[in-house]
Structure 1
Amino acid sequence: MTTMTQPAPAWLRDLAASRAHYEETFGWPVAVQVGQRQLAVALGQVLDAITMPADLADQVNQQLGIAMLAGPVIAHEDSGRWTFLTQAATMMRGDIVEGLADHEVRHAGAGSYTVVPTESSDGGCRWITEPRPHQMLPSAYAVIATARRLCAAAAAANAA
């Protein structure tokens, strides 16, 4: 009895190639989510993610750039949110985004996943700032501290 096999569909080959690129170039633990036709990176060991509304995130990204602490940033088109990929916050005590809930700043760490863009991403997400080989990711604390400072400055300006 002969078995006939079909080649994998093009979208699956593209996802597999993108996964290999992320793993080989950056060392990120990336998984193919076949049902959603997307890639997701596991958080908590190699990297973490800080997500916030795009308007705040744009300001944070600019400030991190000035301080030479900028790293990869993903825009999620469907929700108006950006995600900063950071070093894993392994020594974290408590909730590092405490006090920023009103500003919708979220930390996704161990046990979470975040979607990463691929060349065939159909509007789900895209890179604002692409990762670079051998780039040191910013500290999660630097991203949060910058967001805190900007939120505090905005609150002070509104109170004046």
Structure 2
Amino acid sequence: MFEEHRTLDEVRWLYERVYDLPVVVMSNWVLLQVCDFVGGVIFPRELARKVLGHLNESLIPVIEHPHRKRWTILVYPNCLPDDVAERAMSRSCVSMTVRGDRVVLPLPCDRGGFRWIREPAKPVVLPKLSEIIAAMQAVQTWV
């Protein structure tokens, strides 16, 4: 992904022009700007693996936060979760971004350890939030 893009401005250009993602550069980081057409769902790593396995879709972009052992699945925010989904998310330590939030995007220098588990397609293909919520509910088992 970053073969020829080394500076923050080059990486910002790559995310904006090649992947069509809304980004900003702040304090030596490139950040995804959550808006009406892109957001994220933050999962514990193992639950994210189950959700992605259930969806059986390799184009879904996923970012790893290695120190927190969490993965962010980028989504198209087509809905808000209902009460049942919110309770399930809460019990599973799953959170959602909201409009105006920012998500750290991986950089070529591996600052902070953020990395792509699944790089975005060109241009990015995002699953609907409703699909991610349904997959999460499908794979959860309660003891």
Range into which the TM-score falls when normalised by the shorter chain: 0.7 to 0.9
For the aligned residue pairs, the C-alpha RMSD in angstroms reads: 2.0
Structure 1 ranges of 4+ moved more than 4 A: 93-97
Task: Give the superposition deviation at 1:136.
Answer: 2.3
Distance 1:136 1:70 in 2: 7
State the one-letter code of the partner of 2:91: D
8 A Cα contact 1:73 1:129, kept in partner: yes
Of structures 1 and 2, the one with the larger relative CO (CA 8 A, separation 6+) is: 2
Q: Percent of pairs identical after alignment?
A: 28
8 A Cα contact 2:20 2:124, kept in partner: no
| Alignment partner, residue 130 of structure 2 | 141
Change (3 A) 1:96 1:124: farther
Distance 2:64 2:93 in 1: 15
Counterpart among 124, 129, 132 of residue 118 in structure 2: 129
Deviations, residues 7-47 of structure 1 (Å, cap 9, x unaligned):
xxxxxx6111110000001221111112xx21111112230
8 A Cα contact 2:35 2:99, kept in partner: yes
Which residues in structure 2 correspond to 1:3-82 (within 5 Å)? 14-34=7-27, 37-65=28-56, 68=57, 70-82=59-71
| Alignment partner, residue 105 of structure 1 | 94
SS across alignment from 1:44: coil
Change (3 A) 1:101 1:30: same
8 A Cα contact 2:59 2:121, kept in partner: no
Deviations, residues 60-113 of structure 1 (Å, cap 9, x unaligned):
111122xx4751000101100000001133x43756841120101111021111
Question: TM-score, normalised to structure 1's length?
Answer: 0.77
State the one-letter code of the partner of 1:42: Q
Distance 2:36 2:110 in 1: 25
Aligned length: 137
State the one-letter code of the partner of 1:26: Y
8 A Cα contact 2:35 2:100, kept in partner: yes
| Alignment partner, residue 4 of structure 1 | none
SS across alignment from 1:56: helix
Question: TM-score, normalised to structure 2's length?
Answer: 0.86
Distance 2:59 2:20 in 1: 19
